[in-house]
A = this chain, B = another copy of it.
Amino acid sequence: MATHTIQVRVYYEDTDAGGVVYYGGYLKFAERGRTELLRNLGFENSLLTSTEGMIFVVRRVVADYLKPGRLDDLLTVLTTVTKMGGTSLEMDQSVFCHNEVLCSMKVTLVCVGRESLRPVRLPEKVRGAFSEFMSQKAGGGR
């Protein structure tokens, strides 16, 4: 299955007084990964909003925290698209450090209207790009 990859450095802003990455920070890293996958496919969130009147919103996250990340770690965020529905996308996202999974997430996104915030069908060109990505054998790269 095609996988998209970005690298993320852990800065002070990402850590907490426990000495590790704050648990909410992994959702930021995952969102960066999804955003760069989207950009890789030729789309930008800001342009999708201004030209298509749509926003991707997160409907569900299941996050398993397996190992702590720490200051100065260079993390890898892997993203695969596991399912595309009429108005939704499902992704598996994992944050690695040195070949160990720190956090594993399943994320459900819904395409909604900018103003209504109600589900709308994924634009055809977005569907096409994700469909092609999902059919690739391997992938990666920023």
List A residues at the B interface (Cβ < 8 Å): 9, 11-13, 15-20, 22-25, 27-28, 31-32, 35, 39, 44-47, 49, 55, 57-65, 68, 70-72, 117
Contact = CB atoms under 8 A, between A and B. Distances in A.
B31 A12 contact: yes
A32 B71 CA distance: 12
Contacts of A70: 17, 46
Chain A residues touching B, majority SS: mixed
A72 B32 CA distance: 11
B15 A16 contact: yes
Contact of A72 (B13, B46, B57, B62): B46
Contacts of A68: 57, 117
Contacts of A58: 23, 65
Contacts of A28: 11, 13, 24
Given A12-B22, A24-B24, 8 more contacts: A13-B16, A13-B31, A24-B31, A47-B72, A57-B65, A60-B63, A60-B64, A61-B61
Contacts of A17: 12, 15-17, 19-20, 46, 70-71
A120 to B, nearest CB: 14
